[in-house]
Structure 1
Amino acid sequence: MNLASVRIITADIEPLVKFYEDVTGSKIIMYTPDFAELQTPQATLAIGSTNTLALFGGNEIAETAANRSVIIEFRVDDVDKRYEEIAGTIGDKLVQAPTTMPWGNRSLLFRDPDGNLVNFFTPVSPEAKQRFGV
């Protein structure tokens, strides 16, 4: 089994697509006005509008901008450099500037426009580097 994607359901897809393009530096593929994907070699971040909920059984199956338990994580080459590059985009959504965690990752934590937590991290300890094969 492989994790294929994580999907964010949003009431306004365009600001979320722009935000993730800005912070990742990657182009997001817009398949329809209601569905987009940010593809990486390991997994995909999908972004769907609330209009897509009808295809899954109804609008009540997901609530936009209500996540309080998931962190969307991206491994980056240099989290400190990336922070300098995107600090203006993050603005007041910063939760924690780059900090070295006890498990060996240096992490930057911020929120996207819908309030979802996003973590950019770089393995820095020998053990963390080994876990990620870097």
Structure 2
Amino acid sequence: MKISHLRLLVPNVNECFLFYRDILGLKVLHGNEDTPYAEFQTGDINIALEPLLMNEHTEVLRERDDFSASDRVAIIFEADDVDATCHQLKSRGVAFVKEPHDTPEWGHRVAYFRDPAGNLIEINAGI
């Protein structure tokens, strides 16, 4: 078996679609801002968006700027230059919950932010 894609169950597909397409600049493989399902190309594993499966309230979601060990999943993007990527994403309105910093124990430079659904996203590059 191999992972074919990652499906994010989100409270607002439209808002997340616009974030992944317009802010992160991912290529759309399926859907648009008006469809209940969308998929983006990210390399070998694609990211898909779909509405929540159960009736969850968005108030239950953590604040976007709350960086916490209670996250169960992080979406990791490899970047050529973490600082340059952060600068570019900040110019598009992304608020980082952890600014670029080195993690020598892992051999990476990393930074963290959240998508509109509260999913933790890491960008990293080897140091």
Which bracket does the TM-score occupy, shorter chain normalised?
A: 0.7 to 0.9
1:118 aligns with 2:121: yes
1:13 aligns with 2:13: yes
Which consecutive residues of structure 1, in runs of 5 or more, have no partner in the other structure? 54-58, 125-134
Report the equivalent of 1:40: 42
Q: Distance in 2 between matches of 1:14 and 1:85?
A: 22
Q: Structure 1 length normalisation: TM-score?
A: 0.73
Q: Structure 2 length normalisation: TM-score?
A: 0.77
CA RMSD in angstroms comes to: 2.3
Report the equivalent of 1:132: none
- The 5 A counterparts of 1:41-80 are 41-50=43-52, 53=53, 59=54, 65=61, 68-80=71-83
Report the equivalent of 2:67: none
CA deviation after TM superposition for structure 1 residue 46, in Å: 0.8
CA deviation after TM superposition for structure 1 residue 6, in Å: 1.3
Identity %: 30
Larger Rg: 1
Which consecutive residues of structure 2, in runs of 5 or more, have no partner in the other structure? 63-69
Distance 1:83 1:40, change over 3 A: same
1:45 counterpart SS class = strand
Q: Distance in 1 between matches of 2:84 and 2:43?
A: 22
Moved over 6 A (4+): none
CA deviation after TM superposition for structure 1 residue 63, in Å: 7.8
CA deviation after TM superposition for structure 1 residue 22, in Å: 3.1
Deviations 1:81-124 (A, max 9, x none): 11111114213xx1111111121111110111111100011112
Q: Distance in 2 between matches of 1:79 and 1:97?
A: 10
